[in-house]
Amino acid sequence: MKRTMIPLGPYHPLLEEAEFFQLYVEGETVVDMDLRIGYQHRAIEKLSENLHFDQVTFLVERICGICSTSHPIAYVQAVEDIVGVEPPERAKYIRSIVGELERIHSHLLWFGLAGHFIGYNTVFMWAWKYREPVLDIFERVTGNRNHYAVMKPGGVRRDIPPEDVPDILRMLEELEPKIKMFVDVAMDDPVLHARLKGVGVLTKEDAIKYCAVGPTARPSGVAIDVRRDHPYAAYDKVDWDVVVMEDGDVFAKAAVRLLEILESIKIIRQCLENMPEGPIDAGIEEVPPGEGIGQHEAPRGEVFHYVRSDGGNSPVRHKVRAPSYMNIPTFKATCIGESIADAALITASVDPCYCCTERMVVAKDGKGRTMGWNELLRLSREKTERIKKEIGVEEPKWDLPEVSFRSRR
Amino acid sequence: MTREELLQKVKAQLNDKILNFCELSPKRVYITVPPEDAFEACRFLFEECGGRLVTASGVDTPDGIEILYHFGMDGQGMVLTVKTKIPTREDPKIRSIATFLPGALWIEREIHEMLGVEFEGHPDPRRLLLPDDWPEGEYPLRRDFKGVEG
């Protein structure tokens, strides 16, 4: 049968971020695929080498807007690993609380999008509606709906005062039955079963070979979770379960995420109850020469930071590994053999995050260069043309008009 | 397998290859091996010890390029890092581990474009993150990198 290449991207029909999948199909079946990334590359690792250890916390917070506290948690632990200090007990509990609140809002965001992707827009609107109070709590507790700026090497920057606790508990109280309703609905809904079961299966062998992490690995029977396996923050002081499933399909990935929200609620409640009084910052004065590693189980899986110091003010090397970096390549294992209609859903099922995956613009001599709308448009068209030529795709020439763009400001 | 049993097993198997064995803390262990033995050390950790490749870090140093393969030993609560230094900055080469471990495909491509290390035997050595018109021979994570026109 004739093999056809279908480009999905660089402007993806479903996801907000730019990435480029080349799907090779025979009839309706995907027989091969190539992933091209690099559209979001911002040179974070290079920038980090020019910032003070404390400033890097805020830089890595901006790697991702969804799991914005996950990178700082991993980074500050890497610095603490070099210095050899433990954060104070109360700071550990606050880290866990903020980390789990983030997981709740991130999983709800994904669940809503997943509903939207399969044309189930009721799920989309409800999930996002229930996500909103979580963001309100973030604003109340940290001052921001995203980019909370709570972490710092040696502890946390903001305490959770006692008067905020009842509000957090009340939010959880109201959220829990809604999540349970979603679990019941998802587990029993014949439409969701028909649409998601057996689709895009990631086998346990493939999950291990590709070193998949988080809610991409756990639905395939790989019982790994950094929070349990490499305990940090307050995760070893509270009672909770790692959610594992066996089927590895899109349905299992959705179920794992929903059930994890309930575990997160459990963790936050116990943390709020057991949180000891005391200082929230160990007060790191300087970072000696050495190397350190920090890990955190972000909503999408393990975030890993490696930091090397030569005793100066900035890291000499800072390696960032986001979970999607390991999860996106599993598409090779899950999309091939599936129908083209399912490919978009399967690629969405790992909750891919490209900003995280690519992290690195080089500003020469400290000066950035600003490009206008038409210039960006021209660059984008040129690149598309070049890629088409490379892969041998011929199509009629369009006489494209110059698009005018009016700024709202 | 407990943590101690695992470390014994690693020491026994890689005995003559280990240049330095460093237990920084119970959760962080670093093993230094010569570059020609890094492949075997990684294969052993992945296939026989249940190690999960977390990622690899490439570091530019004055006398060579260091590569650190970080393995998550999830059953033992520790990160075991295989450290190796390719003793040259001119055309550094090392054997690819992506031939048996697909999880290393992307990170080896990234280290290749960022630090200029050639991974011998890599099945798909294209660029990963840098743009197509990035000049050849410019490696942004090298310490002597001065920026490019553009």
Give domain limits for chain B: 3-90
**A10: cis peptide before it, omega within 30°?**
yes
Q: Is residue A215 part of a domain?
A: yes
Q: Which residue of A has its CA nearest to B52?
A: A211
Residue type, B116: G
Checking phi first, is residue B101 left (phi over 0); if not, alpha (psi -120 to 50) or beta? beta
CA A88 to chain B, closest CA, distance in angstroms equals 19
Report the pLDDT value the prediction gives residue A84, as an integer from 0 to 100. Answer: 95
Q: Contact A209/B102, CB-based, under 8 Å?
A: yes
Residue A22 lies in a domain: no
**CB-based contact A293 B81, cutoff 8 Å:** yes
Taking an 8 Å cut-off on Cβ atoms, the answer to whether B74 and A224 are in contact is: yes
Evaluate whether residue A39 is within a structural domain.
Answer: no
Looking at residue A178, its pLDDT comes to 95
Predicted local distance difference test score (pLDDT) of residue A246:
95
Q: Which residues does chain A have within 8 Å of residue B144's beta carbon, measured at their own beta carbons?
A: none
CB pair distance less than 8 Å for A319 and B55: yes
Count CA atoms within 13 Å of residue B85 on its CB side.
11
Yes or no, beta carbons of B59 and A317 under 8 Å apart: yes
Query: Is the Cβ of A68 closer than 8 Å to some Cβ of chain B?
Result: no
CA distance B98 to chain A (A): 10
- Residue A387, in any domain of the structure: no
DSSP annotation of A220 reads G
- Residue A19 domain-assigned (yes or no): no
Smallest Cα distance from B48 to chain A, Å: 13
Residue A271 main-chain phi, psi, to 5 deg: -60, -45
Q: In this complex, is the C-beta atom of A306 within 8 Å of any C-beta atom belonging to chain B?
A: yes
Instruction: Output the tens digit of pLDDT for each of chain A's 409 residues.
Output: 788 998 887 876 666 778 888 889 998 899 998 888 888 888 899 999 999 999 999 999 999 888 899 999 999 999 999 999 999 999 999 999 999 999 999 999 999 988 888 888 998 999 999 999 999 999 999 988 889 999 999 999 999 999 999 999 999 999 999 999 999 988 888 888 988 999 999 999 999 999 999 999 999 999 999 999 999 999 999 999 999 999 999 999 999 999 999 999 999 999 999 999 999 999 999 999 999 999 999 999 999 999 999 999 999 999 999 999 999 999 989 989 998 888 878 887 777 766 666 654 433 444 555 566 667 677 777 887 888 788 777 665 556 555 554 444 3
Best of B74, B101, B110, B146 to mutate (most A CBs within 10 Å, chain A): B74
Span B115-141, mean pLDDT? 92
CATH of B3-90, one of 3.30.460.80, 3.40.50.300, 3.30.420.40, 3.20.20.220: 3.30.460.80
For residues A21 and A35, the answer to whether their CB atoms sit within 8 Å is: yes
> What pLDDT sits at residue A363?
38
pLDDT at residue A373, rounded to an integer: 62
Rounded CA gap, A68 and A401, in Å? Answer: 39
**In the numeric block, which tokens belong to residue A258?**
């929903």
State the helix-helix crossing angle for B38-48 and B3-13, rounded to 10 degrees. Answer: 140
The verdict on residue A349 lying in a domain is yes
- Predicted confidence at residue A344, as pLDDT, reads 78
- Domain span including residue A166: 44-357
Residue of A nearest to B139 (CA): A46
Interface test with A, best of B27, B32, B48, B54 (most A CBs within 10 A): B54
Interface touch B77/A231, C-beta < 8 Å: yes
Q: For A362, which of B57, B68, B147 is closest by C-beta distance?
A: B147
- pLDDT at residue A364, rounded to an integer: 41
Can you give the pLDDT at residue A405?
47
Verify whether the Cβ–Cβ distance A302 to B72 is below 8 Å: yes
**Residue A106, token pair as written in the block:** 């991130």
By C-alpha distance, the chain A residue nearest B140 is A46
Judge: A210–B81 Cβ closer than 8 Å, yes or no: no
Question: Is the CB of A383 less than 8 angstroms away from the CB of B103?
Answer: no
Cβ–Cβ under 8 Å, residues B83 and B58: no
Average pLDDT in chain B: 94
Query: In percent, how much of chain B has pLDDT > 90?
Result: 89
Distance to chain B for A306, nearest Cα, Å: 8
- Smallest CA–CA separation between A261 and chain B, in Å? 23
For residue B34, what pLDDT band results from cuts at 50, 70 and 90?
A: very high
A92-95: long-range pairs with CB below 8 Å, 24+: A92/A232, A92/A233, A92/A234, A92/A237, A93/A233, A93/A234, A93/A237, A93/A271, A93/A274, A93/A275, A93/A276, A94/A150, A94/A156, A94/A158, A94/A159, A94/A160, A94/A275, A94/A280, A95/A150, A95/A151, A95/A156, A95/A233, A95/A234
Of residues A12, A23, A5, A7, the one with CA closest to residue A337: A23
Total domains, chain A:
1
User: Tokens 């954060």 correspond to what residue?
Assistant: A87
Instruction: Please report, as a single letter, which amino acid is at residue B77.
Output: G
